Amino acid sequence: MSEVAQFSELSLYDYSPYDERPKLVWPNGARLAFWVAPNIEFYELDPPSNPHRKPWPHPYPPVPGYSIRDYGNRVGHQRQMALLDKYGVRGSISLSAALCEHHPEIIALCAERNWEFFSHGIYNTRYTYGLTEDQEREMIEDAMDTIERAVGQRPAGYLAPALSHSNHTIDLFAEAGGLYTCDLFHDDQPTWVNTRSGKPFVSIPYSLELNDTIAYVVQKREPRRYGESIRRAFDQLYAEGADSGTVMCIPTHNYQVSCPHRLRAFEEALEYITGHSDVWVTTGREIAEYVIDYGRQQLQGSAVVPSR
């Protein structure tokens, strides 16, 4: 077995210029499909070391990194959930599947709200890196089976754990019965994804740029500026949505957005977005199912938003 990766240019989707696409029509003529994707994650205190990526920068026990993420589940989750309830948003959870076993109370709270659960691997301290194709299939199916056992529905979406991928990740997830990926950041509209099985499979925009961890940890935004960024993104996508439907996603983390000094800014953004009339407040799965069906009806499956 060679340790050298096989490099190739990306062929998961076709090129499609934004200004040459047919109109995408959302249900009830909405301009924009809006979804919030809370990442509900479990990070292990003592994960096995992975030669390709170190789970923690800090030697064991990684108290600083571990404890703030635990804060997300102990303190932050219900805070964010109450806010989403207030604005009528059902979360589409990017779920570390093992959390079904560690913290079933969180799963129950989300399930009774009819939130969507999609797969984010087993733990966010376990990566795709270093797995053979068979092992990655086992991990993907384990996560889907675990979530299905806990909530009674097989996940439709996948965000690979800690955004760690192989060249087989999306093919394997489609073959395991998935409908959509959140791992591609190439567009503000859904697009068909070419998989080796040829099953209908789409990419749903999941904005890494508006992801709270990217905003707060990487870009180091002030909370109010993050809220302003969300509103500006909405204004732009809502305006463009008058011509053809757009998607806006806010990916969140219970240990970032749910800190008390950040919630007001997030609330103002949610209030602003849900205060507009032509917004389809929905989930990742509902968008994926709609565009797959829409694509079949309108475009004979060539592309949801095709150029050809």
Q: Using the rule CB under 8 A, is 269 a contact of other proteins? A: no
Q: Which of 31, 77, 253, 285 binds other proteins (CB under 8 A)?
A: 77
Q: Using the rule CB under 8 A, is 107 a contact of other proteins? A: no
Q: 162 near 124, Cβ under 8 Å? A: yes
Q: State in angstroms the smallest separation of the CB of 174 from other proteins.
A: 21
3-state secondary structure of 217: helix
Q: Report phi then psi at 240, rounded to 5.
A: -65, -30
From 14-22, 27-35, 118-126, 148-156, give the range in contact with other proteins by CB under 8 A. 118-126
Q: State in angstroms the smallest separation of the CB of 256 from other proteins.
A: 9
Nearest to 197 by CA among 172, 225, 222: 172
Q: 237 near 209, Cβ under 8 Å? A: no
Q: 176 near 147, Cβ under 8 Å? A: no
Binders in 199-228 for other proteins, by CB under 8 A: 216, 220, 222-224
From 4-12, 42-50, 180-188, 230-238, give the range in contact with other proteins by CB under 8 A. 42-50
The residues, any chain, with a CB within 8 Å of residue 275's CB and separated by 6 or more, are none
Q: Using the rule CB under 8 A, is 272 a contact of other proteins? A: no
Three-state SS for 149-195 is HHHCCCCCEECCHHHCCCCCHHHHHHHCCCCEECCCCCCCCCEECCC
Q: State in angstroms the smallest separation of the CB of 258 from other proteins.
A: 10
Cα–Cα distance measured from residue 62 to residue 45, given in angstroms and rounded to the nearest whole number? 7
- The one-letter code for the residue type at 157 is G
Q: Which of 18, 53, 108, 135 binds other proteins (CB under 8 A)?
A: 135
Q: Using the rule CB under 8 A, is 123 a contact of other proteins? A: yes
Q: State in angstroms the smallest separation of the CB of 162 from other proteins.
A: 13
Judged by beta carbon, residue 52 or residue 296, the one nearer other proteins is: 52
The total number of residues shown for the chain amounts to 308
Cα–Cα distance measured from residue 243 to residue 292, given in angstroms and rounded to the nearest whole number? 20
Q: Which of 38, 39, 44, 246 binds other proteins (CB under 8 A)?
A: 44
From 7-15, 236-244, 254-262, 276-284, give the range in contact with other proteins by CB under 8 A. 254-262
Q: Using the rule CB under 8 A, is 261 a contact of other proteins? A: yes
Q: Which of 46, 243, 271, 293 binds other proteins (CB under 8 A)?
A: 46
Q: Which of 85, 138, 209, 243 binds other proteins (CB under 8 A)?
A: 138
Cα–Cα distance measured from residue 244 to residue 225, given in angstroms and rounded to the nearest whole number? 28
From 21-29, 47-55, 197-205, 235-243, give the range in contact with other proteins by CB under 8 A. 47-55
Q: Is 291 exposed, middle or buried (0-12, 13-18, 19+ CB in 10 A)?
A: buried
Q: Using the rule CB under 8 A, is 71 a contact of other proteins? A: yes
Q: 44 near 70, Cβ under 8 Å? A: no
From 110-118, 120-128, 179-187, 195-203, give the range in contact with other proteins by CB under 8 A. 120-128
Residue 57, CB-side half-sphere exposure with 13 Å CA sphere? 2
DSSP category for residue 24? P
Binding site for other proteins (CB under 8 A): 42, 44-46, 48, 50-51, 58-61, 63-64, 66-68, 70-71, 73-75, 77-79, 98, 101-106, 122-123, 126-127, 130-132, 135, 138-139, 142, 216, 220, 222-224, 259-265
